[in-house]
Amino acid sequence: MSEQPRTCEGGCICGQVRYQTTSEPMIVHGCHCRGCQRNSGTAFAMNALFEADRVELMSGHVEEITVPTPSGVGQIISRCKYCKTAIWSNYNMGGLKERIRFLRVGTLDNPDRFSPDVHIFTETRHPMVHLPKDVPAVDKFYKWADIWPRESLDRLHVLEDAAGIKIT
């Protein structure tokens, strides 16, 4: 018997927006870039990366707001229409903007379920943040094949093929 994908649910702080994922994330980032620090108002952001079609909006409405990023590419943040909680973001990522959601781990009903698989942009890490020695950490970004598990890379390749691009 095949194993069912593990799902999880989450939502905004006012309860209007509820979502469900239909799989495990491809990877979880702890991002320490200045953009994430400013957008989150804290030392770093934790984002679980999912294929967009594996994050289902169950109730409520999100509004998309485009905000600048240090790279100049920008990101689209989807927020609750009412309380403005940031639920997920879409980044350009080499042409996969509509295909990958960077789900804010803190919006999950059980945010303790996921920890970063990698810490990125640690060159701008807040000095009070001490990173675990058993989790990869890079100054900027990484080579996909060095960090992503094989199964997650396979999922990413499916997205690349559908978009007709190659980023890995």
Asked if residue 1 has pLDDT above 50, the reply is no
Give the three-state DSSP class for 152. Answer: helix
When comparing pLDDT for 69 and 150, which is higher? 150
Asked if residue 2 has pLDDT above 70, the reply is no
| Residue (of 11, 32, 23, 29) closest to 79 by Cα position | 11
For 54-109, how does the pLDDT look when each residue is reduced to its tens digit (9 = 90+)? 999 999 999 999 988 777 778 899 999 999 999 999 987 777 888 999 999 999 99
pTM: 0.92
Distance, CA of 119 to chain centre = 12
Ramachandran region of residue 156, left (φ > 0), alpha (ψ -120 to 50) or beta?
Answer: alpha
Domains of the chain: 9-154 (2.170.150.70)
Count of Cβ atoms closer than 10 Å to residue 109 Cβ: 11
- Residue the block writes with tokens 């979880």: 28
Q: What are phi and psi of 43, to 5 degrees?
A: -70, -30
For 14-42, how does the pLDDT look when each residue is reduced to its tens digit (9 = 90+)? 999 999 999 999 999 999 999 899 988 99
For 122-133, how does the pLDDT look when each residue is reduced to its tens digit (9 = 90+)? 999 999 999 999
Q: What are phi and psi of 39, to 5 degrees?
A: -70, -30
Give the pLDDT mean for 147-162.
95
